[in-house]
Amino acid sequence: MFKAIGKQIHIIWSQIVTLWMVFLHLFTKADTVEYPDVKPYMFPRWRGRIILTRDPDGEERCVACNLCAVACPVDCIALQKTEDENGRWYPEFFRINFSRCIMCGFCEEACPTHAIQLTPDFEMAEYVRQDMVWEKEHMLIQGTGKYHDYNFYNVAGKAIGGKGKGEAQNELPPTDRRSLMP
Amino acid sequence: MFSFEVGSLLNIGLVLVVGLVVSIMMIWVERRFLGFFSDRLGPNRVGPFGIFQVIADALKMLTKEDWIPPFSDKFTFVIAPMILPIVMLLSLGVIPFAPGIGVMDLNIGLLWVFAMAGLASYSTMLGGLASNNKFSLLGALRGAGQMISYEVFMGISILGIVILSDSFSLREIVQAQTDGWFIIPQFFGFIVFMVAGMAESHRWPFDLPEGEAEIISGYNTEYSGMKFGLFMIGEYIGMVVLSTLIPVLFFGGWLAPFGLEFGNEIISGLFWMGAKTSFFLIFFVLVRAALVRPRYDQLMSYGWLVMLPLSLVNLLITGAVVLYQAG
């Protein structure tokens, strides 16, 4: 009898403690971040909207090597290589289907020229599904993105107009193999 | 006709409009406070502080498809959600808000409230029965069992007040508390009445008829659009009725505490009645935020094994003391 009453009193006491502790939460600050009014800090390496960058001279960095398209696990990148009169390779079209893209960043890691980069922008909602497919002119920016000094053709051995063989940085002039007599 | 006396047209309009507006705004107030209690902000985007959230909700409900299941009992299905708000508004009619403010002054006001609360359980029962759905039927059965069993000692718990005030009229009960509120001599009656009242209006934590974790949404599973809205509004009017009834019965109604009256007695009465009602409205939101729903057998055993003996002992002791004092 008394044990049962004691148990009931304990139950009621525990409910009262619960009520009081929840009531105290009225005076704590809300954890809510009011998103459209308060933007969260986005870290520079955050993997969001994909851009194509230019080298410091203002030329397109992308050499249309297709490594990003190969690395892409969801096959959302499509591009076609073409060449300009100087012998520089560049993509004729470069198309990313952002309704497929999972923002994994593998394309950025695969890219040998730092052309394709991911940015901390995530607000990419669209009303029309077709608007999720981005072409090169939508993604190509004027700047260099995260790597300011890198210029692929200046360090690569490929000869293009205005830069012959052996003129790149840290590159020796080509050796005449036939002159290497013992 | 337009004067402050019980039952005048002005009074009826005032009570109806204010009662309905307060009930509907409680939807927003409840969501806002639930947010605060769980360290969130709650709906705050529609209008200043989000007060137009209710209008947005109502527009959503009114524009939804008003679907009547082809397998249901159509007449009962339509009539069931209407019962709840109607009887709850009827019981709001006998509440004395201030001297001269109120719709009806019945000498059996207390019994009227209980009769209406008893009718309200038909809404749950018929709604669940007419839906012709297993989960609705389970919810309706739960609702019927819960409301009928909690009504028993809800009635017994306030008999102590009837003994003390010697009246069933809510106005006379308030007048009888001029010397001291009934919360002090009738503390256990208050506890039982509040718990039973929450179970009666099946508010959290006694929302077993709806128990969305186990029986989808209980008796209103098949309801959509404004028919569901009527169930919801009825529940909120019931909450307002309960929150006005508790101050009237136990906390002196419109009487000011510690002699803090001001102005004329109508304004002062309305202020204190509103303050006490708001306190209990917020308290019920706090209860919803804090307490968990009991199992159905726990609910029943708690009612019959704890609440019923408590209310009976309370009644017995109150009667004995009154008889002893009478000599």
Domain that holds residue A70: 50-146
Amino acid identity, position A167: E
- Residues B232/B203, Cβ–Cβ less than 8 Å: no
pLDDT in tens, B134-145: 888 888 888 888
Q: Decide if A169 is inside a domain.
A: no
Q: Total domain count for chain B?
A: 1
Measured in angstroms, the CA of B234 and the nearest CA of chain A are apart by 26
Average pLDDT, chain B: 87
Is the bond preceding B205 in cis, omega lying within 30 degrees of 0?
yes
Predicted pLDDT at B4 = 66
Which residues does chain B have within 8 Å of residue A30's beta carbon, measured at their own beta carbons? 35-36, 39-41
Q: Decide if B2 is inside a domain.
A: no
pLDDT in tens, B210-221: 877 788 888 888
**Residues B276-300: what's their mean pLDDT?**
90
Measured in angstroms, the CA of B37 and the nearest CA of chain A are apart by 5
Q: Decide if A45 is inside a domain.
A: no
Q: Decide if B1 is inside a domain.
A: no
Q: Total domain count for chain A?
A: 1
Distance CA A111, CA A117 (A): 9
What residue of B is the nearest CA neighbor of A24? B37
SS3 content of chain B, % helix, strand, coil (to 5): 70, 0, 30
Q: Decide if B82 is inside a domain.
A: yes
Predicted pLDDT at A50 = 93
Q: Decide if B3 is inside a domain.
A: no
Burial (CB count <10 Å: 0-12, 13-18, 19+), residue A17: exposed
In percent, how much of chain B has pLDDT > 70? Answer: 99
- Residues A90/A160, Cβ–Cβ less than 8 Å: no
Which residues does chain B have within 8 Å of residue A26's beta carbon, measured at their own beta carbons? 33, 36-37
pLDDT in tens, B170-198: 888 888 888 888 888 888 899 899 989 88
Q: Decide if A27 is inside a domain.
A: no
Distance CA A94, CA A62 (A): 10
Q: Decide if A167 is inside a domain.
A: no
CB-nearest partner of A22 from B35, B37, B306: B37
Predicted pLDDT at B104 = 83
pLDDT in tens, chain A (182 residues): 788 888 878 888 998 999 999 999 989 888 888 888 888 899 989 999 999 999 898 889 999 999 999 999 999 999 999 998 888 899 999 999 999 999 999 999 999 999 999 999 988 899 999 999 999 999 999 989 899 998 888 888 888 888 888 888 888 888 888 887 77
**Residues B288-293: what's their mean pLDDT?**
88
Q: Pick from B121, B118, B74, B113: which is nearest to B96 by CA? A: B113
Q: Decide if A94 is inside a domain.
A: yes
pLDDT in tens, B60-118: 988 988 888 888 888 998 998 999 999 998 998 888 888 878 888 888 888 999 898 88
Q: Decide if A57 is inside a domain.
A: yes
Q: Decide if A175 is inside a domain.
A: no
Domain that holds residue B183: 9-326
Beta-carbon neighbour count of residue B7 at 10 Å? Answer: 12
Contact: B286, A19; criterion CB under 8 Å: yes
Predicted pLDDT at B98 = 83
Contact: B290, A28; criterion CB under 8 Å: no
Distance CA B100, CA B266 (A): 7
Which residues does chain B have within 8 Å of residue A34's beta carbon, measured at their own beta carbons? 41
Contact: B40, A15; criterion CB under 8 Å: no
pLDDT at B1 over 50: no
Radius of gyration of chain A (CA): 29
- Residues A139/A51, Cβ–Cβ less than 8 Å: yes
B65 touches chain A (CB under 8 A): no
CATH (domain of A66): 3.30.70.3270
ipTM of predicted complex: 0.81
